[in-house]
Amino acid sequence: MAKSIVVVSGGLGVPSTSRMLGDRLGQAARGALAERAIDADVAVVELRDYAADIANNMVTGYASPRLAEMITQVTSADAVVVVGPVFTASISGLVKSFLDVLDPKALEGMPVLLAATGGSARHSLVLDYAMRPVLAYLRAAVVPTGVFASTEDWGGDTGGGALADRVERAGRELALAVEGAAPAGRGTGAMESLPFEQLLANIRPSS
């Protein structure tokens, strides 16, 4: 049975650099899995098509049927690529709002690759200070390499170069995470966080 990779793109334009980057990352992971004789399907979710549904979910607490179907598609995948543009020195509100409406345990143990696009490489730290903490809170299994693409990357990249190298490396890491995922389901064997009071109760004084 083929593995499923879902690219969640927060791009607003048509076309958007976020979608372009997401497509390349998804295909890189698919190619890396093919090298390991593992078939994979790549699907893309454009968050701009669900912007009104996400906003309504934020204020009502209920997902529309089409949003619920999309969330199921994302959370039942074998791996997810989350990519979006940088606005006002952080990831776009559309991407953050989508993550906010997910059940806090929906991505637990899920292999996730983070990516972002922006006008300047100065925004590249958004991957680590804005995106990675959110996915860590959701207990996703985020791969080490995040990919940021600035305007300069697109202008100078024609299939090779630094951006292509980062895409290939991140795709391999995601493929390895998918290959190594526990077949019994995400979260199997994961460490469980205990309440602070229980941790204190388990402390035994040394003799």
**Mind listing the pLDDT tens digit for each residue in 9-28?**
999 888 899 999 999 999 99
> Residues 56-85: pLDDT tens digits?
999 999 999 999 999 999 999 999 999 999
- Look up the pTM and report it: 0.84
Give the gyration radius of the chain's Cα atoms. Answer: 18
Q: Classify residue 202 as exposed, middle or buried by CB count within 10 Å of its CB (0-12, 13-18, 19+).
A: exposed
Three-state DSSP class for residue 118:
strand
- Beta-carbon contacts of 5 under 8 Å, excluding residues fewer than 6 positions away, are 26, 29, 30, 40, 41, 42, 43, 77, 78, 79, 80, 81, 174, 178
What does the pLDDT read at residue 182?
Answer: 47
> Phi-psi bin for 125: left (phi > 0), alpha (psi -120 to 50), beta?
alpha
What does the pLDDT read at residue 120?
Answer: 82
Residue 92 has pLDDT above 90, yes or no: yes
Residue 171 has pLDDT above 70, yes or no: yes
In one-letter notation, the amino acid at residue 54 is I
